[in-house]
Amino acid sequence: MENVLFVLYMVVLLVLSCQGQLDKKPPPEDLTMDQIMSRLLGGTQMAASISLPGSLILQELDMYLSMDQYKAINPNRKRKRRKAVRNPVSYWDGGIMPYRFAPGAYEPVDQYYVKVAMRELEKYTCLRFKERTTELNYVELIDSQGCWSRLGKEGGRQELSLDRNGCRFKGLYLHEIGHAVGLIHEQNRPDRDEFIRIIERNIQAGLSSQFQKYQSSFINTYNVPYDFPSVMHYGVTAFSRDGKSQTIAAQPAYKDRESEIGKVFQKELSFGDVHVLNEMYSCNDHCDSSSITCDDGGFLDQNCECICPDGSSDCQRGKTRLNPECRNSANDWKCNIWAKQGECRRRPEWMNGNCARACGACGNVQNVRQDLENVCRNYYDDETCNKWRDNGDCVVAEDWMRQNCKKSCSYCDKSNPRPNTNCINAYSNDAKCREWALAGECAINPAWMPINCASDCHACKNNGSLPDEGTRTTRGPIQTRPPTVTTPPPTTPNPNSCEDRYPTANCQNFENQWNFCSIHRVWMEANCMKTCGLCTGGEKEKEMENCKDENPTCPAWANDNQCVVNPGYMLKYCMKSCRVCTAGLREGAADLVEQFSEGNDRSSAYSVSAKFTVNQLSVLLSMFAVVFFL
């Protein structure tokens, strides 16, 4: 039994530890990216017929094409009336893509993870993403139905949608941004038949055109090999007639690569993605390629160094590979990506065991920036390093930033190797502060973390030595509770009273016609208490009587919407005011409170959006309970 538990523990640890910086929640592992996209659009058949004003046509679920692009990709379609325009896809000038988040469409935590995806592209390519000021050509990230983008730079304002209902995973960010900078779907490459085969009989009727091979006159593969694990590759059941039958299969010579296809919504950039983007945007044009040779499939990057298929730079001709017997037991390329993201610090046990070489856990570390060892400057341009610093990378990816952005992170003083860390966290649990900091919370939650976890956020105001041991028992004040409401409470009904919160006539209609007090008891308990007989004695009234507020200010806080803004505290200590007193609602609330365990004194980035009202919170909690408990 102990062995079984140990295996289960290791499986869970593997799943949790090997994904890198993905998003605030795990993606649905049972769906491929194309399945997520089609469901959000109402199914593949409906998605195939959608068009937008301005002659934009939806192609392959997530690319809105101009008429010229559509004709170039589909030269034999009836819409074609003249010769296809050669290569209408535009690249962003200088590799700089200005962007902005549509107002109200993305919470701070969502913006953070989109920027994490952009950072990955900037690390490995010369692409740069700049928040728009006055630029005429830019991408606006909106919250519309589905996950989709324009293809390349089209000019003016162009939209990119990441639907909050299912598109907000790192792999999908990379995929849609990939379209915006000019990448197509891998399975539509002109040379795809050499590597995969399309199983026509399993494709949904009328959707064979979604597997149309692009014309060489429109697409340049830059001689980059077909990339099975590309973040731009759809899953093996894409556009399937029944959602299960395989429509994409690897050719016999590449059968062992078939398992790399699909579920790209939870993947990182592949080596092929990085390679083709470097070629598209001529990232190494400024390098003296005559003096540097990359062997074994490597290529020269923006820093005039070799990027090798294993993620290292060891394929550069003339370079000595230190400790060659040290290897990664997991995927080499991903190990190197995870290491650069800070995973060696975030999950040292798993990473040192499975990505030993990438983490330098067996004596293979070498200073790849030896020429900068005694120079206080950034290896990347200052603007980019400063942007990464402001997004929290000096904390989240300290080792990588120390080598590449030492000036921006203030890592230049050898006598003070970790600046702005020489103070004590005000919050009592240092392990939690470290965990939150390495997860990006210092940037996501700047109102709480730099104050209460100052040391782990590198936010100490005094860079001197730590206080003497005799004074270390006293920690600073913790900003833990909702602010005291000083304005008079509104004249709305007291949340403690046993009344129908929803209009009584509607509540009675729900119960009389459809017996909602039993069928949808959780929602009704929260909003139609009187109608459902919760005020006339019985077990439910006892539940209400035993449900208390632990702070006299709870009713005022509840009226100030703190049940939503600060649920970690309110749903636990102000249960009566937040109306989570019945058993069903307590179960639903417990799921949210659990997310704030050890953190009921912080307003976390994972908070429910403050735009919800208390009534809507009740609906939200009822949804949790219906899904998980009823």
Q: How far apart are CA 502 and CA 579, in angstroms?
A: 13
Chain centroid to CA 77: 37
Asked if 182 contacts 154 with a C-beta cutoff of 8 angstroms, the reply is: no
Residues 6+ apart with CB under 8 A from 242: none
In Å, how far are 207, 481, 485, 492, 555 from 601, measured between CA atoms? 52, 6, 17, 28, 18
- Helix (H/G/I), strand (E/B), else coil: 51: strand
Question: How is residue 504 written in tokens?
Answer: 């009584």
Burial pattern 202-228, b for ≥16 Cβ within 10 A else e, equals: bbbeebeebbeebbeebbebeebebbb
Residues 6+ apart with CB under 8 A from 180: 97, 139, 149, 150, 151, 152, 153, 158, 160
**H or E element in which residue 388 lies:** helix 382-390
Q: Which of 120, 154, 176, 343 is catalytic?
A: 176
Q: How far apart are CA 604 and CA 595, in angstroms?
A: 9
Asked if 94 contacts 283 with a C-beta cutoff of 8 angstroms, the reply is: no
**H or E element in which residue 64 lies:** strand 63-65
Eight-class DSSP state of 433: H
Q: How far apart are CA 9 and CA 349, in angstroms?
A: 13
Our separate counts of H helices and E strands in the chain read 26, 12
Among 234, 326, 215, CA closest to 37: 234
154 is catalytic: no
Chain centroid to CA 34: 17
Among 345, 314, 380, 376, CA closest to 122: 380
**H or E element in which residue 63 lies:** strand 63-65
Among 7, 18, 15, 6, CA closest to 344: 18
DSSP string over 332-363: HHHHHHHHHTTHHHHSHHHHHHHSHHHHTTTS
Among 277, 271, 281, 260, CA closest to 308: 271
In Å, how far are 50, 215, 276 from 72, measured between CA atoms? 19, 7, 21
Question: How is residue 67 written in tokens?
Answer: 């008429």
Sheet holding 56-59, edge to edge: 51-52, 56-59, 63-65, 147-150, 157-162, 138-142, 96-101, 128-131
Among 15, 152, 25, CA closest to 93: 152
Asked if 453 contacts 436 with a C-beta cutoff of 8 angstroms, the reply is: yes
DSSP string over 81-132: -SPPPS--PPPPGGGEEEEEEPTTSS-HHHHHHHHHHHHHHHHHSS-EEEE-
Asked if 267 contacts 32 with a C-beta cutoff of 8 angstroms, the reply is: no
The residue behind tokens 């900091």 is 437
Burial pattern 465-499, b for ≥16 Cβ within 10 A else e, equals: eeeeeeeeeeeeeeebbbeeeeeeeeeeeebbeee
**Which residue numbers are catalytic?**
176
